[in-house]
Structure 1
Amino acid sequence: MARKPGSSPQAMKARAAKTAAAIAPASALAASAPVNKKKTNPAQFIREVRAEARKITWTTRKETWITSVMVGIMVVMAASFFFVVDLGLGAGVNLLLKFANGG
């Protein structure tokens, strides 16, 4: 049976070393650098919120309508499926109880 390419121990060690290097912090200084906990003033906060709000892309009325209709269809399909399954299980349990009672 032939081995898959890259399944040798040396190849696996090389991949593990590459992954560890990618996950590890860039330097010891980066890991011990203090986190800047400076508070921003309210005006700066409002400016940043408005800048982020401008980046939002809203769906169109047509997209919202289509999505809502699709959700409604899926709800009806799921409800129908579970109704049929419930009827089948209920009939099966009733039949089983009828046989258990000697019936």
Structure 2
Amino acid sequence: MARTGPFEYLHQVRAETAKVVWPSRRETIVTTIMVVIMAVLASIFFLLADQLFSWGVTQLLQLGH
């Protein structure tokens, strides 16, 4: 495996970074909003699932009394 010096490494990093297609500001904002919405929906889903399982376990444990 060939070793590269620090200057060659930085040159390669700069060359690879130039190939990156960066998202526009609008794309970044839209994607961020979608991630926030999905996180809120997922948290609501898991809250409801947790409440349902909690209720179910409570009902099962009360059968023994």
- With normalisation by structure 1, the TM-score equals 0.56
Q: Which has more radius of gyration?
A: 1
Choose which of 70, 82, 101 in structure 1 pairs with 2:34. 70
Q: Deviations over 1:35-63 (max 9, x none)?
A: xx443343333322221111111111111
CA RMSD, aligned part only? 1.5
How many residue pairs end up in the alignment? Answer: 65
List runs of 5+ in structure 1 lacking aligned partners. Answer: 1-36
Question: 1:87 matched to which residue of 2?
Answer: 51
Question: 2:12 matched to which residue of 1?
Answer: 48
List runs of 5+ in structure 2 lacking aligned partners. Answer: none
Q: Deviations over 1:4-26 (max 9, x none)?
A: xxxxxxxxxxxxxxxxxxxxxxx
Q: Match for 1:43: what amino acid? A: F
Alignment of 1:15-34 (within 5 A): none
Q: Which has the higher helix share?
A: 2
- Runs of at least 4 residues off by over 4 Å: none
